[in-house]
Structure 1
């Protein structure tokens, strides 16, 4: 057995572009920085700790303000691409604060400036649609910012009939996110890159009229259309530009099969055993289900189509024998991916929706049936820019594969860079014959 020794020479840079036209390089005054991304929550977050050194007579608390644009870049080996370090996170400042304390013992602490913010998800969380017809004066409201989102929809730029899920998401992205969130911010800060869309949902239809009265954030609208657990939605900081990724959740069975309509996602990251500093892994039956049913969430507004119709197709409304061991645990999903109306015309059922619901239910059963067998937990590893959410990673020495659901980077200047990985769906690549595998209940 040979041990590969990696030469680590970490470097980082932190740049701030203000909406007042300034650009600051904070790198030399950084004490520490932390970034966090997770599939379990929409917002990626960053915290930067700075010394209180003066610049033109003022410290960073004076110069940095909310909604300034931040780029955090780092490399474990110091490598650069086109003269720049790899991107870790792009985002916008939420708050700045200064701190100083004279304690009872040990003398005063050094003054610090703390900058906190979120990635591009902030633009989708803070920008919202307000449904004008619930206001007392809709015409007056339509003239303001709050009315632009819905008015744009009703002006015909986004179809109000059955529409391809990917096409609908792209049109909503162009009309809402780009025009009403990203471009206005770019008018203040030219350095803000375009937020790109990367939608790869199955080729299903959805019916926008079910969200015609929607009020809420852009993020919640897209999250609704992503329809978890069938789909997942997250912001990925790609090398050239941030991307809003919406796709079929790339879950595999315990034996490594990607059931339809999922697309196979091969591992792109390797976790080197020699770089693991700590881990905590385990199995649980908290997410075990023993009854599965999938139906359309918009049939409730169509009295002629009952939800019970979806359970008539083979493969839908299915109890499993696992109930004998784990009890009755239903997983009932109402999804906008199922449109019961043909072409958006009320009263004309789309019979394919019922078959499609059964197919989606079979996917649930395939990927969820062995939940008690998958490992989940955390790894603390040597800091590296390669780690990102939404990817499979292999640990070759263990012959095991994990899905990365969370990444937290912790960098302390002149001391250490650690990365904590939150992993799930851990399975031995050798299948059920691997050491420690749990027998399947049938």
Structure 2
């Protein structure tokens, strides 16, 4: 009998982007290497943590290791590391599969802080460690900001006064499909900032790719974003239209991507709910891969009355939308067995859509007569359809499982995908919105995944025989 033994391997590389000279910086630092391999420093006392969630502006990392003398500078390594230096974390559970190639990229990001921690031992000798914390490329969307005070609008030009954001950053001041809005924000704003950083750092910082913007419908009103101020990720959140869509940054070897897609939730039959959604992929694991599994169900998110109020539409004071018109779209879900109001009570779920229908392209008050009525009907239909999709995504919350799983770590475990767990003859599937890798060099690599919309209970109810026995290890219990 053979026993599989895993020898995970990780590598951590710091790439200097901050170059200082003079002004209190010793000359010994100016000639030091611009790329530092931190992997040899990750001894028994080291630890690496990588956190990524699709509902968070940026992923995060934390690295701790014992401090040692840096031969290049004859000083502590912590003196070489500065905020906004680039850092790459790579790892593989079975590194032999990547012989002759770089290890898979777990996260590429920027240092936010570096600390040197010292403590004295009973014999008087110091014990020193270095802790580095930072965020992935999503950090660039947070530190790049826009404020009205940063530009000087022409007081004589109404266009400049009204559309200051668009004028300053180059986004078109027009009704834009939301995916086109995300593309312009990526290419004209953020990548322009990245090019400036690369010029300052005298090295290439990967540009963001805009090839994964797949939301097929929804217009962004120029008036909606015109008054925006703050971090540009806030602008992404403003127009992303969650929960119908997802927006997050995903690392790749050739650079980060802004992923903007319809939420890939599935119904009880395994069909994708949102129009234009595609299967994000499924990661298969077995009981051998599980360290622990903690899942359950509750009535906390049960709803049977779904509303999408006229948010952006009401920017127009004369819009033909109101509560009564939207409610006419039958938001009640009173006959569905998994959220019956007789059992769970009347529960309301409300989410505002800031997008408008593709067929609109104009506010009702900007037109007259029959065209105005038609625009009003299109906006009404949009909000009713949004409420319908909200209902389809949430009507079965009472029987979907959520929780967490701790698994044997691996580079294949990434958020925004489905996790399919097979135990014996029982199979359950979960969506993973968040993943945390915890790596102890020369020790263990475990990955904790946040789980939602799990089908464990659903498959148990439909299972023939005893699900309790069927989920046992394969062998005599398979019968």
TM-score grouping bracket, smaller chain normalisation: 0.7 to 0.9
Specify the alignment match of 2:311 in structure 1. Answer: 297
Aligned pair partner of 1:44 in 43, 59, 81: 59
In 2, Cα distance between equivalents of 1:109 and 1:281: 44
Moved more, 399-408 or 280-289: 280-289
In 1, Cα distance between equivalents of 2:246 and 2:123: 49
1:412 is the counterpart of 2:440: yes
Specify the alignment match of 1:360 in structure 2. Answer: 386
Contact 2:175 2:219 in 1 (8 A): yes
TM alignment of 1:152-167, pairs within 5 A: 153-154=166-167, 157-167=170-180
Specify the alignment match of 1:347 in structure 2. Answer: 366
In 1, Cα distance between equivalents of 2:101 and 2:169: 45
Shift of 1:209: 1.1
TM alignment of 1:244-255, pairs within 5 A: 244-255=258-269
In 2, Cα distance between equivalents of 1:81 and 1:335: 49
Specify the alignment match of 1:422 in structure 2. Answer: 450
Secondary structure class of the residue paired with 1:117: strand
Q: Under a length normalisation based on structure 2, what TM-score does the superposition of the two structures give?
A: 0.81
Specify the alignment match of 2:13 in structure 1. Answer: 15
- Structure 2 residue ranges without an equivalent (≥5): 20-33, 155-159, 469-479
* TM-aligned CA distance change 1:432 to 1:304, over 3 Å: farther
TM alignment of 1:293-442, pairs within 5 A: 293-308=307-322, 311-312=325-326, 315-318=329-332, 320=334, 322-338=340-356, 342-344=360-362, 346-348=365-367, 349=372, 350=375, 351-397=377-423, 398-428=426-456, 430=459, 433-434=462-463
Shift of 1:252: 0.9
In 1, Cα distance between equivalents of 2:188 and 2:224: 18
Secondary structure class of the residue paired with 2:233: helix
Shift of 1:254: 2.5
Secondary structure class of the residue paired with 2:78: helix
Secondary structure class of the residue paired with 2:406: strand
TM alignment of 1:105-120, pairs within 5 A: 110-120=127-137
Contact 2:408 2:447 in 1 (8 A): yes
Structure 1 residues 216-242: Cα deviation after superposition (integer angstroms, max 9, x where no partner)? 211111112111111111111123321
1:92 is the counterpart of 2:101: no
Shift of 1:83: 2.0
Contact 1:250 1:262 in 2 (8 A): no
* TM-aligned CA distance change 1:40 to 1:342, over 3 Å: closer
Shift of 1:163: 1.8
Contact 1:230 1:249 in 2 (8 A): yes
Contact 1:249 1:262 in 2 (8 A): no
1:240 is the counterpart of 2:254: yes
In 1, Cα distance between equivalents of 2:437 and 2:137: 18
Structure 1 residues 291-341: Cα deviation after superposition (integer angstroms, max 9, x where no partner)? 101244212221111541673475454353522222332222221222599
Moved more, 342-351 or 268-277: 342-351
In 1, Cα distance between equivalents of 2:401 and 2:125: 46
1:102 is the counterpart of 2:120: yes
In 2, Cα distance between equivalents of 1:372 and 1:356: 27
In 2, Cα distance between equivalents of 1:335 and 1:242: 27
* TM-aligned CA distance change 1:323 to 1:156, over 3 Å: same
Shift of 1:396: 2.4
Specify the alignment match of 1:143 in structure 2. Answer: none
* TM-aligned CA distance change 1:157 to 1:138, over 3 Å: closer
In 2, Cα distance between equivalents of 1:212 and 1:4: 65
Secondary structure class of the residue paired with 1:220: helix
Contact 1:341 1:347 in 2 (8 A): no
Structure 1 residues 22-54: Cα deviation after superposition (integer angstroms, max 9, x where no partner)? 111111002221110113422211001122111
Contact 1:43 1:118 in 2 (8 A): yes
In 2, Cα distance between equivalents of 1:82 and 1:203: 44
* TM-aligned CA distance change 1:232 to 1:183, over 3 Å: same
Specify the alignment match of 2:197 in structure 1. Answer: 185
Q: Which portions of structure 1, spanning 4 or more consecutive aligned residues, are displaced by more than 6 angstroms?
A: none
Contact 1:293 1:318 in 2 (8 A): no
In 2, Cα distance between equivalents of 1:81 and 1:151: 52
Provide the alpha-carbon RMSD of the alignment.
Answer: 2.9
